[in-house]
Structure 1
Amino acid sequence: MNKTFDRYAGIVFLAIGAAFMIESQKLTQSSYGSNVGANVFPFALGLFVTLMSVRLIYETFRYKQREKQKQNLDYKRFGIIFAAAVLYAFFLEDIGFVISTFLFLMIGFQTMERGKVWKSLLISLGFSLGVYYLFVEVMDGTLPGFPAWLGLS
């Protein structure tokens, strides 16, 4: 961990989170066919990013002084996760929220830590289905469903 980098990253993400929260207030409070407005997720995301960045900034003050050592950056893992995020955004409408989120999480978990496939599978599937159920069924929101060729829609 690099204290200076973490502190600046925390400040940048604090600004991004605050901007998300402020700008989400300009979106409509409700949308057609949904009890949940377009402003809910951007505001929640902004709040989450803001809280996590405050924690990151706080943690940088608690870092212990260590010898300076060169850190190796892992470009391969970054590239895999970045490509997975781009593909996730590209295919979200075509294959639906549950499948695309499941695949993205599986790729991310397996990229960060090889093995433990069953654990990754259960967490990815549980998260994908849980968020879909919570948002669509409980909050009456809309998310891209399953693709029509599956016959589950």
Structure 2
Amino acid sequence: MSRSFDRIASVLFLMVGAFFIVESQKLSSSAYGSRVGPELFPMGLGILLILLSILLIYKTFRYSKEEKKVTPVDVKRFLIIFIATLLYALLLELMGYVLSTFIFLTVAFQTMEKGKLWLSILISGAFSLGVYYLYVEVLKGTLPAFPF
């Protein structure tokens, strides 16, 4: 993209990250049956977003003068990922975390790079099961259960 677009986007994402952190502090500190409070995930996302925004701001100052090529926007891929994200949010409770996350990640990986279906399935499955185990078993949090 362009230097100015990246700078504007990074500042906007920095503000969104700060908003996530501030608003996550307003959530209750613990949920019923969970040692991990509901504020942890949005606060973590906010911190991650702020760190990535700072990295992007830093990189915009390192752009060389020759780097003027602008990549075209791929609307088809964007729409596929956007619709998959909406469906993921809508079906998370119904299908459970592991299954809905697995399907979403597989669709997203295949949208970004066709081919290597088995590798996408393997990574999606490992990530879904790994995060579920880590969050539910190790941290004693709660996620939507399996649908069966």
TM-score by length of 2: 0.95
1:66 deviates by: 2.5
Structure 2 unaligned blocks of 5 or more: none
Secondary structure of the 2:100 match is: helix
State the secondary structure of the residue aligned to 2:73.
coil
Distance 1:40 1:67, change over 3 A: closer
The letter of the residue matching 2:116 is K
Q: How many residues are aligned here? A: 148
Equivalent in the alignment of 1:95: 95
Partner of 2:28: 28
CA RMSD of aligned residues (A): 1.2
Q: Deviations over 1:87-106 (max 9, x none)?
A: 00010001000011011111
Q: For 1:109-137, what per-residue CA distance to the aligned partner results, in whole angstroms no more than 9, with x for missing partners?
A: 10000011122111111110111011100
Runs of 5+ unmatched residues, structure 1: 149-153
1:13 equivalenced with 2:13 (yes/no): yes
Matches within 5 A, 1:1-153: 1-66=1-66, 68-148=68-148
Instruction: Write the distance in 1 (CA, Å) between the matches of 2:143 and 2:70.
Output: 44
Q: Which amino acid aligns with 1:20?
A: F
Alignment partners' CA distance in 2, 1:114 and 1:33? 41
> 2-side partners of 1:71 and 1:41: how far apart?
33
Q: For the residues of structure 2 that align with 1:135 and 1:81, how far apart are their CA atoms?
A: 25
Query: SS where residue 136 of structure 1 aligns?
Result: helix
| CA spacing shift, 1:67–1:39, aligned 2, 3 Å | closer
For each residue in 1:23-60, what CA deviation from the matched residue of structure 2 results, as whole angstroms up to 9, or x when unmatched? 11111111111001111101001011111111111111
Cα drift, residue 70 of structure 1: 5.0
For residues 127 and 93 of structure 1, do their structure 2 counterparts lie closer, same or farther at Cα, with a shift above 3 Å needed?
A: same
**Aligned-residue identity in percent:** 57
SS in 2 for 1:79: helix
SS in 1 for 2:145: coil
How much has 1:144 moved relative to structure 2? 0.4
- How many Å separate the matches in 1 of 2:24 and 2:95? 27
